[in-house]
């Protein structure tokens, strides 16, 4: 069962780098980066959109595969986080390069780099720290952070939380072309992450127990 302790808590005996899920993660990342490079070469906004869709769909598939095939690992969760940010960074930087003034106006204050810069800081720095925090507890991934703190989990890693924190920003920015709206959303996400970080710091990150040998020296 998806919510059983055997699925929630990490098992050192099954930890490994290469699983079906991580293979999918590596493959979708390579494809996404290839599309990003192709988009830069062609100067194509359409290819940037294709790359974003590839990244989102691939990110969903590897997660679902890990759950379906019962191959969720802490290693896989970290690899997924790193690949997400590599893909996201490449595509959003490409978007800034191809559409520096946005869709509506070329005035400096509507420059699309403003919301994207805020979003990338939120996603690649603060959200990365929040996401890696699960390693301080014996759970398999942030998907099970509800056993540690339900409030932080709901805001960040529930299905609705994930959708709001990743896809909503790009979809609204691409569909509307309104840089001011993208900026408001990016700032809202940044505030959400900062509040979550405050909750996490109040919760505290447990430090692993240091084992000491009978002679008083650290155990090997």
The CATH number given to whatever domain includes residue 62 is 1.20.120
108 falls in which pLDDT band (50, 70, 90)? very low
Query: What's the rounded mean pLDDT across residues 55-76?
Result: 94
Total domain count, the chain: 1
**Whether the Cβ atoms of residue 104 and residue 177 lie closer than 8 Å to each other:** yes
Residue 161: inside a domain, yes or no?
Answer: yes
Does the pLDDT of residue 109 top 50, yes or no? no
Query: 176 versus 189: which is more confidently predicted?
Result: 189
Query: What's the rounded mean pLDDT across residues 74-86?
Result: 97
Residue 158: inside a domain, yes or no?
Answer: yes
Cα of first residue to Cα of last residue in the chain, in angstroms, is 37
The DSSP letter of residue 124 is I
Does the pLDDT of residue 72 top 80, yes or no? yes
- Residue 85: which domain range? 5-203
Percent of the chain exceeding pLDDT 70 equals 89
Query: What's the rounded mean pLDDT across residues 207-211?
Result: 80
33-36 LR contacts (CB < 8 Å, sep 24+): 33/86, 33/87, 33/90, 36/87, 36/90, 36/91, 36/94
Residue 136: inside a domain, yes or no?
Answer: yes
pLDDT value, residue 100: 59
110 falls in which pLDDT band (50, 70, 90)? very low
Does the pLDDT of residue 204 top 80, yes or no? yes
pLDDT digits (tens, 9 = 90+) for 87-97: 999 999 998 88
**Whether the Cβ atoms of residue 172 and residue 181 lie closer than 8 Å to each other:** yes
Residue 219: inside a domain, yes or no?
Answer: no
Residue 216: inside a domain, yes or no?
Answer: no
Residue 209: inside a domain, yes or no?
Answer: no
Mean pLDDT is lowest, of 14-18, 47-51, 151-155, 216-220, for 216-220
Does the pLDDT of residue 55 top 80, yes or no? yes
Query: 210 versus 28: which is more confidently predicted?
Result: 28
Token pair, residue 145, equals 């952070």
Does the pLDDT of residue 206 top 60, yes or no? yes
pLDDT digits (tens, 9 = 90+) for 160-181: 888 888 788 888 888 887 888 9
Residue 55: inside a domain, yes or no?
Answer: yes
Residue 220: inside a domain, yes or no?
Answer: no
Mean pLDDT is lowest, of 92-96, 126-130, 151-155, 188-192, for 92-96
Q: Averaging pLDDT over each range in 110-119, 168-177, 196-205, which range is the top one?
A: 196-205
pLDDT value, residue 19: 96
């Amino acid at each position: 069962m998806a919510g059983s302790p055997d699925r929630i808590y990490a098992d050192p005996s099954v930890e490994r780098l290469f699983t079906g899920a991580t293979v999918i993660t590596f493959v979708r990342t390579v494809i996404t980066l290839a599309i990003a490079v192709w988009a830069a070469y062609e100067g194509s906004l359409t290819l940037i959109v294709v790359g974003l869709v590839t990244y989102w769909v691939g990110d969903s598939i590897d997660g679902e595969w890990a759950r379906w095939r019962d191959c969720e690992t802490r290693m896989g969760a970290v690899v997924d986080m790193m690949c997400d940010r590599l893909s996201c960074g490449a595509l959003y930087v490409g978007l800034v390069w191809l559409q520096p003034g946005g869709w509506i106006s070329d005035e400096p204050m509507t420059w699309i780099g403003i919301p994207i810069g805020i979003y990338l800081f939120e996603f690649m720095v603060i959200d990365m720290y929040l996401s890696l925090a699960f390693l301080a507890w014996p759970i398999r991934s942030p998907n099970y952070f509800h056993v540690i703190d339900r409030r932080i989990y709901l805001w960040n890693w529930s299905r609705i939380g994930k959708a709001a924190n990743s896809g909503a920003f790009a979809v609204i920015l691409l569909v509307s072309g309104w840089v001011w709206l993208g900026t408001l959303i990016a700032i809202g996400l940044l505030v959400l992450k900062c509040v979550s970080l405050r909750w996490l710091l109040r919760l505290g990150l447990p430090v692993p127990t240091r084992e000491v040998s009978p002679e008083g020296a650290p155990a090997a």
